[in-house]
Amino acid sequence: MYSKFKLLLQYKTQTYLLILTFITAIGTYFVIPFLSIYMTKTLGITGGVVGIVLSIQLFFSRGLMIITGPLSDHVGSKYLSIIGLFLIGVSYLAYAIIQQVWLFVIFLAIGGLGVALFQPSSKAILVTGIQSEIRNILFGWRNVLFNSGVALGSGLGLFLVDIVGYKTLFIFGSLIFIIMAAISIFIIPTSKYTSTTHASIFKNVIEAFSNIKMLLMFICSIVFWFLYTQVTITVPLTFETYNMVKLLSLFFMLNAALAIIIQVPILNYTNKLNLSPENQFVLGILLIGLGLVSLVFLPYGLGIFILFLVTFTLGEILSSPNLDAIASLLANKDNQGTYFGVLGAGWAIGGTLGNIIGGFLFDYNITIMWVIFSLVSLVFAFIIKTLFTVINKGDM
């Protein structure tokens, strides 16, 4: 595993993108853990309304990837990535300044557009020229560095929020993105990342959805993000309900730290077991569901917090990297952005449903909410495992 990581370091652009992942994760987690709490306290809106507002951001950040992904294949990924970084930075700055809900929605949409431009473009650059057999390692290490940034960002955020407040923290996050956008202009190469075909954007999308395995990964993306997006809305609101906001920031920090420590050993272990990426994903979904249902018992002690932390983190590191790795292997060099864009569209649908349903279930009953999410995890894991088995047998 580590020898393959050393091989990755020979690729200068990919090395920079891994570093960029780490640094921007710090900026993101100066904002994300506190955003839903900030909206309820500062803007005075309910959990259900927060869910709707965040869903608008999700539509732009993930739903538009079905357009921005193919667009990066056609016009080039470099400047789409840079524009995306800049727009995210501007939106974070706006959060610190504006007070009206409608303006907040506008800048959530602008930030979402930034994410839609940055994510598929940067991932397409990341896998360019990388052998297929080490792409899962590449995304594994990307996850490690992302979580390293999350750990540092959450830790610093926890320390700084009581000193400088939410608004200054958002400004710090904004500056990180704007500075990295400027640096990227000079480091990311301009050439090599455009499609050599003349297929239309929509033809690329149709081709991706006609691939039965990619269609299945699209569905997997919907369900994964339906569950995972709770960590940005109902998990923070649950911790606040039980007066455990300090533990919330600690969760983000320890979640990232634990992922850093066990990501590589877990990849090594699953490789030794010959556990396919698909099966790793299914196991991850089950563990996320177990982690979420444990929050029913959160007020009863630190042991429940630890159970939530460990199971949710294990589920995350088994599920998330394998979504990207499988998609990159299904795509060819001319439509990498398109395939990542399709996954992003799944994220939009799942995240939107997760935000809206999670917000209203939270307002209705916290216990029922977590039980429902765990049942979704269990039922989907069984269905998707069956479908993976049938499809793989059909390919033999």
The one-letter amino acid at 300? Y
Confidence of residue 193 (pLDDT cuts 50, 70, 90): very low
Please give the Cα distance from 108 to 262 (Å, whole number): 33
Select from 270, 305, 283 the least CA-distant residue to 384: 283
What pLDDT does 129 receive? Answer: 63
Which residues, at least 6 apart from 228, have a Cβ–Cβ distance to it below 8 Å? 288, 316, 319, 320, 354
Please give the Cα distance from 305 to 48 (Å, whole number): 25
Which residues, at least 6 apart from 232, have a Cβ–Cβ distance to it below 8 Å? 32, 35, 36, 54, 355
Locus of tokens 């190469």: 189
Select from 207, 226, 227, 228 the least CA-distant residue to 69: 207
Please give the Cα distance from 126 to 77 (Å, whole number): 10
Question: What is the per-residue pLDDT across 364-387, written as a single tens digit (0 to 9) for each?
Answer: 889 999 999 999 999 998 888 888
Are the C-beta atoms of residues 35 and 87 closer than 8 Å to each other? no
Phi, psi (rounded to 5 degrees) for 188: -75, 125
**Total-model pTM:** 0.72
Domains, the chain: 2-395 (1.20.1250.20)
Confidence of residue 394 (pLDDT cuts 50, 70, 90): low
Q: Give the pLDDT mean for 22-49.
A: 83
**Can you say whether residue 274 is alpha, beta or left, with left for phi > 0 and alpha for psi between -120 and 50 degrees?**
left
Select from 83, 123, 96, 90 the least CA-distant residue to 109: 90
Please give the Cα distance from 237 to 109 (Å, whole number): 22
Name which of 141-155, 159-173, 298-312 the model is least confident about: 141-155
**Sign of torsion, CA 350 352 353 358?**
positive
Select from 274, 276, 388 the least CA-distant residue to 325: 276
What pLDDT does 85 receive? Answer: 96
Name which of 52-61, 143-152, 382-391 the model is least confident about: 52-61
H/E segment holding residue 160: helix 135-187
